[in-house]
Amino acid sequence: MKTEKLAAIARTTLLAALLALGGAAQAQDKPVELKMSHWVPPTHPTHKTALAWAQSVEKASGGTIKVAVFPAQQLGKAFDHYDMATKGIADFAFVNVGYQAGRHVVASMIQLPFMVANADGGSRAFDEWYRGHAERDMPGVKMCMAFVHDPGTLHSRTRISSPDQLKGMKIRPAQSGVAEWMRALGATNVTVSAPEAREALERGVADALTFPWESVYLFGLDKVTRFHIDAKMYVTGFAWLMNPAKYAAMSPAQKKVIDDHCNGEWAQRNGREWGEVEAGGRAKTLSNSTHTVVQLSPAELDAWRKSAAPVVGAWSDEAKKAGHDPQALIDEFQRVLTKHGARL
């Protein structure tokens, strides 16, 4: 009995020593300050989730990692964020995978119309699927997480219900996949980032644009559009990317904190929290008497679906040229979408 008690005391003493050593090791980690850059306004749900992520990282690191979040293009333009991550202008950068056509061929598959049903499971699926392809598809960065916004649609100055009506119009596309779609329909693309979209419509440079619902209000686009198609037309893929040199300079304990925060759970949280807000924007628009939400008949919706076929073909050709099997990529992603309840 005495021997057992002595053994228990020894185990407790050893555990306490190990914990003390662990705490000392963390306390000895050099402080790290990270710059986290994005281009949406501070009122956007992505900014709020980024702040929560930063606070969680700081807490988990025992205060040795501090993250400063810079919203609204403070460190650079939206289109430049991938290069900002590779060059270390930002330690973490928020990237729209479709802002630069042809750059991220595999990730661009997320842009194909009528594929993803929701941001919650869709984000978990996109992150899970893309992790196996990110290293090759996004060289020069460390991918932290990938996610999508809630399905977006077409918002315009005039009433649109048929894809045939877009011929000759000027459209601001959300990403390169939608741009290919608009081009196939005979529209002219006006390529500007989300923060620049309102000015494009105000000046008459664009007649319509593709956007998720609440973001129309967040970027002031409700002032320049009045008609909105009630259909889940597309999603856009996003990623938080890290500068690899910054990661390499961290201690093992600090790297683990980052790794524990660059995962599917945080990807899904980004999508869910953003998606809930966007869904609220649809409800807001439906109850707004100054706006018209255009309800499509089954035949009209089918026409929109069929009109998107050239987009799939164009992306498939691009993927083949880059050495990929496009159908295998689509099939793989659709299986993961189904698994997470997000296949449209």
Concatenated DSSP letters for 177-231? HHHHHHHHTTPEE----GGGHHHHHHTTS-SEEEE-HHHHHHTTGGGT--EEE-S
Number of Cβ within 10 Å of residue 324's Cβ equals 18
| All domains of the chain in start order, with CATH | 153-234+288-339 (3.40.190.170)
pLDDT (0 to 100) of residue 100: 84
pLDDT (0 to 100) of residue 309: 96
Q: Assess whether pLDDT exceeds 90 at residue 147.
A: yes
* 3-state class (DSSP) for residue 148: strand
pLDDT in tens, 160-178: 999 999 999 999 999 999 9
In terms of Cα–Cα distance, which of 279, 152, 286, 285 is closest to 209? 152
> How far is the C-alpha of 127 from the C-alpha of 122, rounded, in Å?
9
pLDDT (0 to 100) of residue 27: 54
Q: Assess whether pLDDT exceeds 70 at residue 140.
A: yes
User: Of all residues in the chain, what percent carry a pLDDT higher than 90?
Assistant: 90
pLDDT band, very low/low/confident/very high, at 25 (cuts 50, 70, 90): very low
Look at 11 and 120; give whichever has higher pLDDT: 120
**CA angle (276, 75, 32) in 5-degree steps:** 90
Q: Assess whether pLDDT exceeds 60 at residue 2.
A: no
Tokens of 124: 């978990």
Mean pLDDT of the chain, nearest integer: 93
| Mean pLDDT within 189-205 | 96
Question: Parallel, antiparallel, or unpaired for β 153-156 and 208-211?
Answer: antiparallel
Q: Assess whether pLDDT exceeds 80 at residue 156.
A: yes
Q: Assess whether pLDDT exceeds 90 at residue 227.
A: yes
Longest dimension (CA), the chain: 91
pLDDT band, very low/low/confident/very high, at 28 (cuts 50, 70, 90): confident
> How far is the C-alpha of 178 from the C-alpha of 236, rounded, in Å?
9
